Amino acid sequence: LAKTTQPISMDSYEGQEVNITCSHNNIATNDYITWYQQFPSQGPRFIIQGYKTKVTNEVASLFIPADRKSSTLSLPRVSLSDTAVYYCLVGTNAGKSTFGDGTTLTVKP
């Protein structure tokens, strides 16, 4: 499984767009990129998944460059309730999965 590297923490203010980048230099051809959100003492919640280019859903966008060695989760107009830990995962759907250390996002008023 490819190792992922994310910033340990980020700060933002309400209403701003937040971009969290994940580095995965050893990503394999069959690997997907998946992002989860976790609030304290709760289980992670699926946000978005992609393979290449750009994916958008109702809560976030995921940008993946052509070489796929990194990806960027974009959260538009964050609010205080977006304060959480965000995890980037890289792998197939074959079962084994490795979460990185995650990025703690703090949104300030």
Query: Which residues does residue 88 pair with via DSSP β-bridges, in sequence order?
Result: 35
Q: How far apart are CA 103 and CA 80, in angstroms?
A: 16
Looking at the Cβ atoms of 16 and 98, the one nearer to another protein is 98
Burial class (CB in 10 A: 0-12, 13-18, 19+), 104: middle
Q: Which residues bind another protein (CB under 8 A)?
A: 32, 34, 41-46, 49, 87, 89, 91-102
Closest separation between CB of residue 13 and another protein, Å?
Answer: 26
Tell me how far, at minimum, the Cβ of 103 lies from another protein, in Å.
Answer: 11
The answer to whether 29 and 51 are in contact (CB under 8 A) is: no
**Residue among 98 and 106 whose Cβ is closer to another protein:** 98
Closest of 27, 32, 22 to residue 52, by C-alpha = 32
Closest approach of another protein to the CB of residue 59, in Å = 13
Q: Which is nearer to another protein, 3 or 108 (CB)?
A: 3
Question: What's the min distance (Å) between Cβ of 83 and another protein?
Answer: 18
